[in-house]
Structures are given as C-alpha cells and as structure tokens.
Structure 1
Amino acid sequence: MTKTITPKELRAFWKTGREVALLDVREEGPFSEAHPLFALSVPVSEVEISLPTLVPRLGAPIVVYDDGEGYAERAATRIVALGYSDVAILEGGLSAYREVGEVYRDVNVPSKAFGELVEAIRHTPSLPANEVKQILETQEDVVVVDARRFEEYNTMSIPRGRSLPGGELVYRIHDVAPSPETLVIVNCAGRTRSIIGTQSLVNAGIPNRVVALRNGTIGWTLEGLGLESHQSARVDTPSNEARSHARSRAGRWAEHVGVPIIGTEDLSRFRSEAETRTLYTLDVRDPREYVAGHPAGFASAPGGQLVQATDEWLGVRGARVVLYDDDGVRARMAASWLIQMGWDVFVLSEAADLPAAEDSPISPNGQRAFRAITPHELHDRLNEVVVVDLARSPAYRKGHIPGAYFASGPELARDVATLDGNDPLVLTSPDGRVAAANLTEISALRSRELLILAGGTEAWHAAGYGLDSEANYLSEPIDVYKRPYEGTDNARANMQAYIDWELELVAQLANDGVSNFHVVR
C-alpha cells in the first residue's frame, strides 16, 4: 500500500524549502483547468519517459495526485517500478487540496505568476499595441526583438520584429542597438517573456529606453492589427565589443542579486552529493551551440525558456541547480531570475575546464518483452492488424499511420477494450518509447496478439510510407491544452480571457502563500 500525505503536509515542504516533486498524473487538458502552483503535468502513461529527467534523484520525495479518476495508484506503482523510493499519494486528491490552497489554470504557472509579480514590483515599462504601431510607422531608430523561441516567432510576429530569444537578450542586444538613442521594443505572444525580457535589459543597465509590447501578439491581435508570418530575421552572434559590454552588465547585476559562481571542484562535490540532494545541470546557451558541443552531464535549457517554463526542466522544488555558459552572461542572467523564484542556483564559471559530452541514444524505459514489428512488416500486414497511436493529439492530427486510432494513454486499457474483433494490435507513438512503456497496460487483452512498432511512427515515415490526417478517435482528445497565445487561429474571447487571467495571478500568489518568490529591486 502506497503511503499518503495530506495537502497541508505537502504545502509545508514548499514553505520550508524542502525537496518535493508534485505530479499531476491526469492528461494535460484537465491539468490546465486546475492544479496546485508547483504541480508538474506527467500523465500516468508518460511516467517512464518524463520522470528520469524531471526527477533525476531516485530518493527524491514524490507526491502524485489525480481528481478521482483512479490514476494516482497506478502512477505510484509505475514510479516505484522505476526505482524511486519515496512515493506518496496526496490524500483526497485535487478536491482536498482546494480546501487549503489556491488552484491555478493554464500551464507553466510558476513562471507566469512570477512575471506578473516582477511587473507589479518593478513597474516594467510597456506600451499598448496602437502606440507601438504608431511608433513603428513614424520612427526609424527603433529595434523590435521577439523574445520567444524562433519557431514561435516564425509562426507569427509583429512588423519589423527580429528573433532574439529572452535568454540571449543581454548577450546580443548591443550590436542591434549600439546607439543609446535607439528605442528597444520587446515582444512575445502574451506577457511573461516580454516582461522578463524587458526587465532583464533594464536590470543589466543598458542605456537605451526599453519597453515591452503590452500583452504581446495577443494585445496586437485584439486591437485588430495584422501579424506577419514566416519571418526569419535573427539577431546574429555578438561581436567581441558586444560580448564585453554584456559580460560587464550581467556581472554587475548578478553580483547585486547574489548569484554564486562556482568552479569544477564545487561541481564535483555537488555531483558526489547528488544521491542525497537533487542536482540539475543545465546549459542555457542557444540550442544550436549546445548541439555543436557541450559539457558532459549538462542538458540543454535555453535561458529564456528555462525562466519562462521552469517546470519543464526543474521537477523537484527545493533542488540544487547549476547553470553553464561559455560567455559569462547568459547563465548569470538566468540564474538571477531563478534565485528570485526561490531556487538554489549556482553558475559554473565560464573558465571551468570540463570534459565534452559523448552522448549515447536513450533507450526506452519500461520496455517489456513484447514482440516488435518493423515498418516493412506492418506495411505488409496493415489490413490484418489494428494500429493504436499514443502520440499527443496535435501530432496525431498532423499525420499518423493510415487507419490508426488515437488513444488516451491514461485510459488506454479501457478504450482499447472497446475495439471489436481479435486482430493483432500494434501500439505506436512518435518514437516508440511511450508505446513501449504502456504495452503492459493492455496485456490483459489475452484474445489479441500485442505488438509494438519498432521505432514508432517516425520509423514508419522514414521507411518511406505515407501518413494520414483523417482522425479516428478511440479516446476523447483531452491530452493537450490549446494555448490561446500560440498559433494564429485563436478565438478573441479566449485570448482576452487569458490576459485577464494573467493579471489576476499576483493576487492568487499572495493568497496562496507558498511561492517563496522575492523580486530584487
């Protein structure tokens, strides 16, 4: 019998800074409607894939919950099977937690709430969309930098925008705005990355006037203004002069905040203690630099996205974090924000001598001894088998094996049991890992032969076989929350509701009392 923990006991961990990971094991749709502040979205069907990186220490305290669906016990069993030793179920689930703490909508809430707190405390300068439009139409000495990931910028952007992800702003801004007279406008899709990006430049002390586009592309769209698409302008790698300016500015701000700088001996000590204190080691540089080469044991976590979505990299609240760059700028700026968000974070000196990584492919966790079928074999037998796809629904809609059913991971056994006939069942997912981890969930279907597609749908497509976009839903597609700030087909009411929600987050934080956020002036 898995042990339990009360909501009040859980909240005490956050208030006192002790390590704990809280996992919401429902699908992302229900998670986005209501969850505690520091909950992670880890559907029960994706435990084996997500948990090793989110919770790298097997002895870290883990708490799982659902909202009465019955997933928590199943998730706890699977987590223990992975080797985790301190797993508990939240007594009463989400409904019991509501009685003692705030529940939040949307995703990446800690970062978004922190961004709103920063704006409230620091009065981060911003301008509404119509005023920004007028400036862009009447002034030449203006630079517009888009603080999102390049892919988001490429999908939609405001006129004259250039891609400059938030973690790169202080590092690269000098070359695009060398004159202190140049106005710098920072935008994102909503609010958080433009607030944090603008305030990063203000904190670093650049001489320019810097403002955020208030409410980002959402605010722009709500005013009836047109967006551009498929733009590809990027801010280049900084010159030596720009690096020197950035290093000086970032260093001063990091020292003001109290960012600790460590060397290789400290890192070695942290690693030696990693079985008793959870450790994350993250490379905050541009992903292209990471791919070109990075230190052994460091995962890619671009600084702007790390601050924007801490819960996608840092699963154990109260853990120790070490950030790396090779320039003395980006890690210091990211760390300055994480410290204010209550993380125990350190920056590895850029002079540290570390061995380069020799990465090896990751093997699927939880794979059982079920027979695999190759893409060629599946192609030859496609009319004799039933294919069930565990991809997230947007990926499934974009393209899947012809005739494949979409299935919910948490409800896989329930929904597969509704299929008629006894034809062999082939389970797939994008790369096959989620499929491998969930075959045991349907092993009770003794009347069917159970197979896994080797390499998943990606291998099928790589073998030259076509994909279909006609949907066959075996399960209701509630696995992904439709973000009202991504893409170009969002309803006005949803966009406005999202902005209204963000503006309420500071009050929720104050009422909740567990964040341990502190904005440095």
Structure 2
Amino acid sequence: MNVLSFPDAAIAETAPETVRDWLRGGDEIALLDVREEAFFAAGHPLFAVNLPLGRVEELVAGLVPRQTAPVVVYDNGEGLVRPAVELLGQLGYTAVSVLAGGLEGWRASGGELFIDVNVPSKAFGELVEHVRHTPSLPAEEVHARIARGDDLVILDARRFVEYKTMSIPGGRSVPGAELALRVRDIAPSPQTTVIVNCAGRTRSIIGTQSLVNAAIPNPVFALRNGTIGWTLAGFDLEHAASRTAPDFTEANHAQARHRAQELAEKTGVRFLSLPRFRALESRTDRSVYRLDVRSPEEYEAGHLAGFRSAPGGQLVQATDEWIGVRHGTVVLTDTDGVRARMTGHWLRQLGWKHVYVLDEWAGLKQETGPQPVLLSRPLTTVSLITPADLLAQIAAATPPLILDLASSRAFRAGHIPDAVFVSPTDLRINSGLPASRQTVLTSPDGVAAQIAARHLAANGVEVKVLEGGTEAWKAAGQALETGLSSENTLSEPVDIYKRPYEGTDNAREAMQAYLDWEFGLVAQLERDGTHGFSVLEA
C-alpha cells in the first residue's frame, strides 16, 4: 500500500494488481464503488460493490461489518473518493485506501470491466449452465405445452413482488430458496414437468439446477430467457397474479432435507454448534455475515437477534447486496434444514470459502418484526417536525422546501405533495440551501434524512426532519403524489439503473441486448481471472 497525494492530505492507495492478488488469494477485501448506480452499471470490476457516497453512513455497517477489514474505494474521477475516505474514517474504519488510478487505473492495468448489476451472480449462472448443461425450453415450446394442456407446473423463482408485476400465465410464485423445499408437494406426480422461470436467465438457471441437484424425479426445465424470452416470442404476460406454494408435508420435507444435507456436505458447507457459533461471532479477524434465508414474512414473525433477512434465492442472485467483503464469513440459518443448506451449497460454488449453517436456536435471543436498520454510529438529535405540523406549514403563506432523499424509484412511486427529489450524494457534496426558506428533509423511514441533517448541521445549515419520514406521513392519512420530472427534482435520477428485465415498459432492443450480454459473461469471466467459482459436477 503506497501513499497517494491529494491537495489537502495524503491518502493511502492500493494498486489494482494488489487488489486482484487479494481476490485470487482469498484475502478479505471490500472494493467499494462510491458512484451512483447508473454509473456503476456502466462499468466496474467484477467484485466491486456499489455504495454511493450519499448512502455510505446508512448502508456500510451491513455491507462491511468489521471496521478493520481492508476497504478500497474508487470512482471515475468525479471527486467522490476523498469525502468517502474521510467519512469512512469518521465511522471507525481503519484500513481504508483508494484504488490507484480509479476505474481508469483498473482498466489500464489489464482489469476487466463488467456492465450491469449483481454481475458475479449473473456470470456464475451462465457458468453453471455452461458446465452443467442445465435443461431449458424456449418460450414457443412452453407456450405450446400450455395450449395442449400438458401435465406441467410453472414456478416463478423471483421475489413475489416481481412475480405479481408480470408472470407467465398459470405460473405460481416459488422464490428460489423455496423450490427444493416445496416442489415435491407442488408436483407430487413424477410425470409432471416442472418449468422454472425468472425475468431473464440467472434465477431460471439456478432454480432449475437446484431441482436437478436436489434429485427430484420430475423432468425439469428452465424457461429459456424467462419473461424476456416470452415477450420477445410475442406472447402475453399475466399481471397481478397471486398464486403461491402450498405448505410442505412431513414426508416430502424429510426427502428435501436429506438431499440438501448431502449437497451441503459435498460442497464443503460447515455446520455450527452453539459454542462454535459464539466463538465465531467473537472473532475480530473475520467479517461475519449472519443471514436468515427464509421468507421475509417468516423472518418478521420471529428470527435470531443480529441476523438479517436475506431470502436464499435473492442472496444467490444478488450476493453483493448483502455481503460487501469478498471472502467474508457467512452464517446461514432457517427453521427447516433445507433452505440454508441449498443456499450454502450455491455460495460455496460462488467462491465463498467460509460458509456455515446454524440450526440451533435454543439459547439464542430471538426477536420479531422487520429488520432493524444497521448504522455505523447512532443518529444524533435533530430538529423534528410532525406530519400534522408539516401539513399546517404547507398551507402557510410561505411553505417550506421539502427535500426527499428517497431513491428516485421510491420518489416516483409516491412522495409528499410538492416535495423535491434530491440524492443524498448531491446534498452531501453541494450543501447550499436557500437561506430565506425553511427546509424539511424526509426519506422513506426518516433515517437518510436524519443522516443528511447531521451533515448539513456540521456545515452550518439548519433544517428540520419529518418525524418518521414519508411512511409516517402516509400512516397519518395524508395523500402522496406520484411521478418525477424536471419540475420536482434537484438531482438527475442516476441513483437507479433501469434494468431491462424489470417492469413492463422495456424496449425489445434493450431486452435482446441484455440477453446477448449475458451470453458473453463466461468468456469475460475467463479474461478476468479473479472469480474463484467452482461449479459442482454431476
């Protein structure tokens, strides 16, 4: 690690070659891209994790739980690195450096650049199909089988919210980690064909291969290219469907657990007793991620304290949204003995060396309710305003300026009337606000607004924060507006990359380009050489 000179002070730098050595050697490293998601998606190293500057304080504790873990930060010359490094230092991170030369330095040194998001998981899915020849059927064949009334079931491996937005007609929602647990009850006859779909390719491939690995007796196929392929073939999608999986029966559960145990052992997943779990938690030389892979509803009904909700299918599909330190230690848990083992057997193939399953809950503290917000430092006292008082001020002769720090997607879906969208990054970098007008900050739950208010106060700018955020405003019975335009934004909506496989308004050219990109990921992995993936052979 050398020293990089900045105008104000020296900041440690790490060479791209060193980062690649750490990735190949199994050393812990968090490579953080502090740009907004749209810029990140345009090109980044394979194992970079997107953590925009304005969201660092809100999200870094979950992504990088160990403050002594090596953290390497980069941008593409936007000037975000210095404030990010300074902020991480304030939050207690002690091994922070910058990537020498930034993104351009990575490319110039021979590093591969990947586009899109959740790329490690997507590239891995393509490798799985390449190695295992995962069976699939084109949309035309599946459509014909449905029209004939063939004995088949269609299982949508995405999150329920995605399934509800658009789905294959007749399909039911069975998110990825649920497939091996529930498929025997959904299709009890071994003659029933099982077809697994997602929006594109990854979750279809991984879901199908999960069932092949689980040795179900049924013929099983991925819907080739998912709902994108279905749409490109000219077929209609269903909207607002609500079909889900039935409860699993004891006999089928026993079969599923037995096979999941075999797969976990075969791939090197380890199992924790309570004393070993406590010993692992106490270690200061490892970044430990404690993840509950059950459904969000089960998690809220009761979970182990300190565990985050990470439904198994999504965890495999988007590992970098939960785990920010490559080669960190992962502890998975469930209440059925299937989902954690199946998820673990995939994480091991994804190159995570330290994957454990915890079955014992007795003696550990349990909690209910949604996942708590993980912050690197407590929120400070800020000046709050209630929804009722804000409503009164809006009706006054000089209403306040309401700045909403939600994501542009959330803002577009619903915001306080006359609120203005601003990204937390822009507010952190450009903290000047109109002196003649009171400013109120809000965000979905108020956390991002309180974090921004602290930063503004440190720079001599006083604002109020809506108590409970926009969720409290809505809970008080107040109306929301929808939409985002030049009239209600101070920031470009570059915080969200428009995925060509989400929503119902994607251009055919964008969907086809996305598929073409996925097809090329295996070759790109070979050029990159840092992935460490190892696909389980038959």
Alpha-carbon contact 1:408-1:475 (below 8 Å) kept: yes
Hey, what's the Cα distance between the residues in 2 that align with 1:515 and 1:168? Answer: 27
Match of 2:325? Answer: 316
Q: 1:399 aligns with which of 414, 439, 444?
A: 414
How many percent of aligned residue pairs carry the same amino acid? 52
Whichever residue aligns with residue 242 of structure 1, its letter is N
Match of 1:425? Answer: 439
Matched, 1:117 2:117: no
Hey, what's the Cα distance between the residues in 1 that align with 2:151 and 2:428? Answer: 61
Q: Superposition pairs for residues 30-45 of structure 1, below 5 Å?
A: 30-45=39-54
After superposition, give the CA deviation of every residue in 1:334-393 in whole Å (9 maximum; x if it has no partner): 111100111124343535634242369548646445422222222222233211111111
Matched, 1:439 2:453: yes
Q: TM-score, normalised by structure 1?
A: 0.95
Q: 1:171 aligns with which of 178, 181, 184?
A: 181
Q: 1:454 aligns with which of 443, 451, 467?
A: 467
Matched, 1:300 2:315: no
Hey, what's the Cα distance between the residues in 2 that align with 1:163 and 1:272? Answer: 39
Matched, 1:80 2:89: yes
Hey, what's the Cα distance between the residues in 1 that align with 2:426 and 2:243? Answer: 44
Match of 1:18? Answer: 27
Hey, what's the Cα distance between the residues in 1 that align with 2:509 and 2:524? Answer: 22
Q: Cα–Cα, structure 1 residues 372 and 468, in superposed 2: closer, same or farther, change >3 Å? A: same
Alpha-carbon contact 2:428-2:452 (below 8 Å) kept: no
Q: Superposition pairs for residues 31-180 of structure 1, below 5 Å?
A: 31-99=40-108, 100-180=110-190
Alpha-carbon contact 2:411-2:483 (below 8 Å) kept: no
Alpha-carbon contact 1:295-1:354 (below 8 Å) kept: no
Deviation at 1:237, TM superposition (A): 1.7
Match of 1:386? Answer: 401
Alpha-carbon contact 1:278-1:320 (below 8 Å) kept: yes
Match of 2:387? Answer: 375
Whichever residue aligns with residue 61 of structure 1, its letter is P
After superposition, give the CA deviation of every residue in 1:131-155 in whole Å (9 maximum; x if it has no partner): 1101111143111111111111111
Q: TM-score, normalised by structure 2?
A: 0.92
Matched, 1:490 2:506: yes
Whichever residue aligns with residue 427 of structure 1, its letter is L
Q: Superposition pairs for residues 153-232 of structure 1, below 5 Å?
A: 153-232=163-242
After superposition, give the CA deviation of every residue in 1:292-325 in whole Å (9 maximum; x if it has no partner): 2122322211111110110011111111111112
Deviation at 1:450, TM superposition (A): 2.0
Deviation at 1:441, TM superposition (A): 4.3
Match of 1:469? Answer: 482
Alignment RMSD, CA only? 1.9
| Unaligned residue ranges in structure 1 (runs of 5+) | none
Q: Cα–Cα, structure 1 residues 363 and 118, in superposed 2: closer, same or farther, change >3 Å? A: closer
Q: Cα–Cα, structure 1 residues 351 and 357, in superposed 2: closer, same or farther, change >3 Å? A: closer
Match of 1:518? Answer: 534
Alpha-carbon contact 2:302-2:368 (below 8 Å) kept: no
Moved over 6 A (4+): none
Deviation at 1:443, TM superposition (A): 4.3
Hey, what's the Cα distance between the residues in 2 that align with 1:470 and 1:212? Answer: 36
Deviation at 1:413, TM superposition (A): 5.1
1:452 is paired with a residue of what secondary structure? strand
After superposition, give the CA deviation of every residue in 1:51-88 in whole Å (9 maximum; x if it has no partner): 11111111111111111111111111111111111111
Q: Superposition pairs for residues 492-507 of structure 1, below 5 Å?
A: 492-507=508-523
Give the length in aligned residue pairs: 518
Q: Cα–Cα, structure 1 residues 168 and 359, in superposed 2: closer, same or farther, change >3 Å? A: closer
Deviation at 1:442, TM superposition (A): 3.8
Q: Cα–Cα, structure 1 residues 485 and 470, in superposed 2: closer, same or farther, change >3 Å? A: closer
Whichever residue aligns with residue 397 of structure 1, its letter is R
| Unaligned residue ranges in structure 2 (runs of 5+) | 1-9
Hey, what's the Cα distance between the residues in 2 that align with 1:307 and 1:414? Answer: 34
Hey, what's the Cα distance between the residues in 2 that align with 1:259 and 1:397? Answer: 42
Alpha-carbon contact 1:283-1:323 (below 8 Å) kept: yes
Hey, what's the Cα distance between the residues in 2 that align with 1:234 and 1:414? Answer: 46
Hey, what's the Cα distance between the residues in 2 that align with 1:214 and 1:179? Answer: 24
Whichever residue aligns with residue 302 of structure 2, its letter is G
Stretch of structure 1 that moved more, 263-272 or 361-370: 361-370
Deviation at 1:420, TM superposition (A): 5.4
Whichever residue aligns with residue 248 of structure 1, its letter is H
Hey, what's the Cα distance between the residues in 2 that align with 1:375 and 1:276? Answer: 45
Stretch of structure 1 that moved more, 349-358 or 216-225: 349-358
